Amino acid sequence: MNVHLKTPDEIAIMREAGRIVARAHQAMREAVRPGISTADLDKIAETVIRDHGATPAFLNYPKQGAPNFPATITASINNELVHGIPSPNRILKEGDIISLDTGCHYQGFVGDAAVTLAVGAIPPAVQRLLDVTEKALEVGIRASVLPNDIRSVALAVQNFVERQGYSVAREYTGHGVGRAMHEEPQVPNWWPRSPKAGKRRGWENVPLHVGMTYALEPMVIAGRNDLRELSDGWTVVTVDRSLCAHFEHTIAITDSQPIILTLP
């Protein structure tokens, strides 16, 4: 496995990329309300990213067997886990939840982050799902310290989420971030009991090192974690239509506490 460890100068550039992503998220957060379309949110994010001298990382992102991704953000509503495609026909309603994921290229490096937001008022049980998912991200970040390894981070997230009565998505993982949006290592939100099962998935339990940078992104489901992909080739939904939430930060490993690169 080829894990590229970043220098302090490279991490400083990634911090700027992360700030741009955070500003795009803040602009979308301020705009989320009943009646706005996901295409409107996409335009807001693209404008912020380009106005800060960066380019959208998701726009035209390739995927085998599907058209290139057509937007700056993924906008996933209610039981859509990830990769929802923005559209002027997707209008947010009171009581929806929406997961917004975006990234940018800046001076040769990538920033990547996601958040799930309430649209107007939501029931306390739904708010708890959002709160637990955001807390799971904090738990994963706290576990991202030396001398831990990827397995330690994955199990910290999984154990926390499952103790709250929710499940984690198993087919989708966090990932290394750097000059490319998806680098090694993969950073799952759970870990199989059998080492062979992990290897079958292409996962490798690597120790954390100073200079590692990766996106940690818990994806938490209120019901079963069975998923399917829609005919657009991108949007992933829960089979039982359970609500789901997604929070993500890009972080850098140091010799003490990790640096969150995607804060404002």
Quick one: average pLDDT of 219-232? Answer: 97
Which H or E element spans position 43? helix 38-51
- Rounded CA-CA distance 174/38 in Å is 24
Which H or E element spans position 168? strand 167-168
Find where tokens 């103790």 sit: 163
- Residue 201's pLDDT is what? 75
Specify whether the CB–CB gap between 252 and 258 falls below 8 A: yes
- Residue 204's pLDDT is what? 87
On the question of pLDDT at 40 being above 80, the answer is yes
- Rounded CA-CA distance 261/11 in Å is 8
Q: Rg of the chain's alpha carbons, rounded to an integer?
A: 17
Sheet architecture: strand order including 213-216: 183-187, 174-176, 213-216, 249-252, 259-260
Quick one: average pLDDT of 78-86? Answer: 98
**Identity of the amino acid at 168:** V
Quick one: average pLDDT of 29-53? Answer: 98
- Rounded CA-CA distance 243/222 in Å is 6
On the question of pLDDT at 107 being above 70, the answer is yes
DSSP letter, residue 91: B
CATH number of 8-260: 3.90.230.10
- Residue 1's pLDDT is what? 79
On the question of pLDDT at 78 being above 80, the answer is yes
The per-residue pLDDT for range 192-212, each reduced to its tens digit, is: 976 666 666 778 899 999 999
Which residues have a Cβ under 8 Å from the Cβ of 191 and sit 6 or more positions away?
151, 154, 155, 158, 198, 203, 205
- Rounded CA-CA distance 24/93 in Å is 22
For the chain, give every domain's residue range.
Answer: 8-260
- Rounded CA-CA distance 195/256 in Å is 29
